[in-house]
Structure 1
Amino acid sequence: MGRGRRSVLGAAVTVVCAVTVLGVPGTAFASARPAPSPTPATSASPSSSSPSPSATLAPDKDLEAVRAKLDKLYHDAAVATDAYNAAEEQTKKQSAEIVDLARKIVKEQQELDRLKDRAGAAARAQYRTGGLPPEAQLMLSDDPQQFLDGAGRMLEGERATRDLIEETARTQQDLKLYAADAADRWQQLETNRKAKAAAKKQIEQRIKEAEKLQATLQKQQQARLAELEQQAADQAQTAWLDTGILKEIHAKASQAGQKAVEFATAQIGKPYEWGAEGPKTFDCSGLTSQAWAAAGHPIPRTSQEQWKQLKHVPVEDMRPGDLIIYFDDASHVAMYVGDGAIIHAPRPGRTVTLAGAGSMPILGVVRPDAD
C-alpha cells in the first residue's frame, strides 16, 4: 500500500464520528476510532516551581512498558470478570433448581403423609372387624350373596393394598432422589460461590494494581500514555484496513441486529463496571448480552460462552449486530456496527465507546440471530 494512502487511513481512523441511529433496519454506522477517555491532562502555566517537560515526561520506551503492564493487568481482570460472570450465572441457575427441588420435596412429603394416613385408616378398619382376615369373614357368613359381594370387595381390597404399598414405595424413592439431588445442587452452589469469591478477589487485585501504577504517573505522563495507547490502536486498525477487508464486507443488519445496534449505541458514554449489565454501567459482555436481549434474542452472559455457543461466521460475512470476539482466550467482546467500527465497553476507567473493529486481535465473529 502506498505511503500516501496509509497516511490518509491513519488519519481517518483517529476521527471521532457522531453516531446517529436511523430507523431503517440495516443502517450502517460510520467508521470511527475515538481516543480513549483517560483523565485529561491540565495545561499548567510555566513557573519557576513547575518542572520542565523534559524533567516530567518519561521516555516513550518506559511509558510503553507501563502500557504493556496495564494491558496485562486489565486483561487478567477481564478474564477474571468472565469467570465471575459465569459463576454468577451458574449460581442463579442452581438456586432456581434448588427452589424447584424444594417444592417437589414438599409435594412428595405431603403425598407420603397422605398414603400413610390411608394405610392407617385400613389398619383401624381391620381392628374394628376384630382383626379377622377377609377370607375368614367370608367363610363365617351365612348369606351367599354377601359372600360373593365380600369376595369381590376382598379382591378390590387386596389390589388397593398392593397399589398403596407400591405407591408409598415410589413416593419414598422419589423423595430420596429429590433430597440427594438437592444436596448435590447445594454442593455445586457452594463451589460456584467460592469461584465467584476467588474471581472477585482477582479482579479487585488487578484493578487496584493498575490504578496504583497509573497513580505513579504525572498528568503529562498520563496524557502521553493515552497517546501511545491511541497510536497502538490506530496502527492495528490501519493494518486491518490495509488487508482490504472492508471491500468484502457488504451484509446489511437483520431487523433484530439493527435493534441490538440501536440499544448498544444508546449506551455510549456510560461507564465500564465489571460484572455490570446496565442500565447505568456495563462490562463488555454485559453490554452485548443486554443489547441482544433488548432485540428479543437472549444470548449467553459471558464473552467466552458467546464464543462457544453462538454460530461462527467468517469476518468477511459479518453484518451490523454480529459480535466480534477478541484475544485467544475470548476475554473481550464488541458489537460490530458497520463500516469497520465497533461499540464496546473497554475496561475499568473507560466508557462505552465507538472504536475500530481491528484495533484489537480478532479471534472470530459470532451471530446471535443466525437462521
Structure 2
Amino acid sequence: MRTGKRGLVTAAVTVVCAVTVLAAPGTAFARPAPTPPTTTPPATPPARSPAPPPGKDLEAVRNELDRLYHDAAVATDAYNAAEEKAKQQSAEIVELARRIVKGQRELDDLKNRAGAAAREQYRTGGLPPEAQLMLSDDPGQFLTGAGRVLQGQRATKNLMGEMTRTQQDLEQYARDASAQWQKLEDGRKARAAAQKKIKQRIAAAEKLESQLAKKEKERLAKLEQEAAYKAQTAWLDTGILKEIGGKASTKGKEAVAFATAQIGKPYVWGAEGPGTFDCSGLTSQAWATAGRPIPRTSQEQWKQLKHVDAQDMRPGDLIIYFDDASHVGIYAGDGAIIHAPRPGRTVTIAGAGSMPILGVVRPDA
C-alpha cells in the first residue's frame, strides 16, 4: 500500500474541515494547504475614461453608457457562472469528505480483521499442513482442519485484496478532493476578476452620468427612450405580432406572474431575489418558482434551453439579447418583456424588440 494510515487520516481531516468552511456564510474559499504558485491571470483592463465631455454630444454619451453597462453585464454573467460552479464544486468536496471518512473507517475495520486472522494463525503455530498431518493422531480430524485452513487462507487473501482496493479508493478520493480545491481556487480568482471589472464599468458609467447637468440628464433619458422606441417600432413593423399566437403554458403563466410581481425592484448585479435582481437572476427565479429550475446565467440559458422561432414564442419564453447572450428578459405577451435592465434601474416592462434579439428559448419545452 502506497500511503500510510497517517497520510490518509490527514487527508480525511483536511477535507472534512471543508464541510465547516463551506457551511459558514460569507466565508472566502481557500486551499487547505500551500501549493506551488499558479500563473496569475492578466489584470482586468481599466475602464476607459468617460468620454466625450458632457453637454457636447449626448448621443455619444448614450453610446458610451450603453458600452459600459454592456461590459458590466458580460462580467456579471461571468461572475454568476463562476458562483454556480463554486456551489457545485463545494458540494462535491463535501461528498468526497464523507467518502474519505467512510473509507477510513472501513479500512480500519479491515485492518482489525486482518490482525485477528494473523493472531489466530500464530495460535495454531503456523505449521505447514504436512507437519500438522504427521503430528495428528486423527487423519480425519486433520483433513477437516486442513479444509478450514484453506478457507481461512482464501478469506485472508480476499481480505487483503479488499484492503488494497479500499486503500486505492481513499487515495483517489484524496486526489479528487485536491483537484476540486484547485478548481474552487481558480473559480475564486475568476469571480474576483469579474467583480473588479463590474465595479470598474459601473463606476465609470456613474461618473459619466454625474457630470451631466439636470437638463442634459433629462435629454439623455429622452434619447434612450427614443432609441428603444425606434428599435421596438422596427421590430413590430416586420409584422411579427401577427405571427405570434402561442398561448402560455401553465408553468409559463406562473413564471410571468412571478416576474410581474417583481416590477419596481432594483437591479443589483449578481442578485436573484427576493428584494433585488439582475437580468438572469429574475428569469431563473421566475422559472424556479414555476417548478422548472433553469441555468442561472443568460449565456447558459441560451446554450442549454430549447430554441424556438420568434414567431412561435409564447408568454413565459425567454428572449436572449445581443450577440454574446449577455441579457435576457421574459416574454409577457403583446410584444412586451419583463426584465431587470441595468444598475440604477428597476425591474420593468419594455418592448421585446427594444434591444438586438439573439433568439428565443423555452424553459418548459
The TM-score bracket by the shorter chain reads: 0.7 to 0.9
The residue that corresponds to 1:352 in the other structure is 347
Counterpart CA distance in 1 for 2:65 and 2:335 is: 26
**Preserved contact between residue 321 and residue 328 of structure 2 (Cα < 8 Å):** yes
AA partner of residue 197 (structure 2): Q
Deviations 1:237-265 (A, max 9, x none): 00101111100000000000000000000
Counterpart CA distance in 2 for 1:247 and 1:358 is: 15
The residue that corresponds to 1:251 in the other structure is 246
How many residue pairs end up in the alignment? 312
Quick check: 1:213 aligned with 2:217?
A: no
Shift, 1:348, TM fit: 0.2
Quick check: 1:111 aligned with 2:110?
A: no
Structure 1 counterpart of 2:364, from 361, 366, 369: 369
Quick check: 1:311 aligned with 2:306?
A: yes
Quick check: 1:262 aligned with 2:257?
A: yes
Task: Provide the alpha-carbon RMSD of the alignment.
Answer: 1.2
Map 1:1-371 onto structure 2 (within 5 A).
Answer: 58=55, 62-133=57-128, 136-370=131-365
Counterpart CA distance in 2 for 1:139 and 1:221 is: 112
Q: Secondary structure at the match of 1:343?
A: strand
AA partner of residue 259 (structure 1): E
Listed as ranges, the gaps of 5+ residues in structure 2 are: 1-53
Shift, 1:155, TM fit: 1.6
Q: Secondary structure at the match of 1:189?
A: helix
Shift, 1:134, TM fit: 5.1
Counterpart CA distance in 2 for 1:136 and 1:202 is: 81
Shift, 1:115, TM fit: 0.9
Kindly report structure 1 stretches of 4+ aligned residues shifted beyond 4 Å: none
Shift, 1:147, TM fit: 1.0
Counterpart CA distance in 2 for 1:306 and 1:151 is: 68
AA partner of residue 288 (structure 1): T
Counterpart CA distance in 2 for 1:135 and 1:329 is: 81
**Preserved contact between residue 138 and residue 150 of structure 1 (Cα < 8 Å):** no
Larger radius of gyration: 1
Counterpart CA distance in 2 for 1:159 and 1:116 is: 16
AA partner of residue 210 (structure 2): A
Counterpart CA distance in 2 for 1:135 and 1:68 is: 96
TM-score normalised by length of structure 1: 0.82
Highest RCO, 1 vs 2 (Cα 8 Å, sep ≥ 6)? 1
Counterpart CA distance in 1 for 2:196 and 2:211 is: 23
Listed as ranges, the gaps of 5+ residues in structure 1 are: 1-56
Counterpart CA distance in 2 for 1:140 and 1:108 is: 44
TM-score normalised by length of structure 2: 0.84
Identity among equivalent pairs (%)? 77
Segment of structure 1 superposing worse, 72-81 or 167-176: 167-176
Counterpart CA distance in 2 for 1:134 and 1:356 is: 91
Shift, 1:203, TM fit: 0.4
Deviations 1:193-242 (A, max 9, x none): 10000000100111111111111111221111100000000000001011
**Preserved contact between residue 324 and residue 362 of structure 1 (Cα < 8 Å):** yes
Deviations 1:173-192 (A, max 9, x none): 11111111111111111111
Shift, 1:317, TM fit: 0.2
Counterpart CA distance in 1 for 2:135 and 2:170 is: 43
**Preserved contact between residue 283 and residue 347 of structure 1 (Cα < 8 Å):** yes
**Preserved contact between residue 307 and residue 366 of structure 1 (Cα < 8 Å):** yes
AA partner of residue 110 (structure 2): L
Q: Secondary structure at the match of 2:358?
A: strand
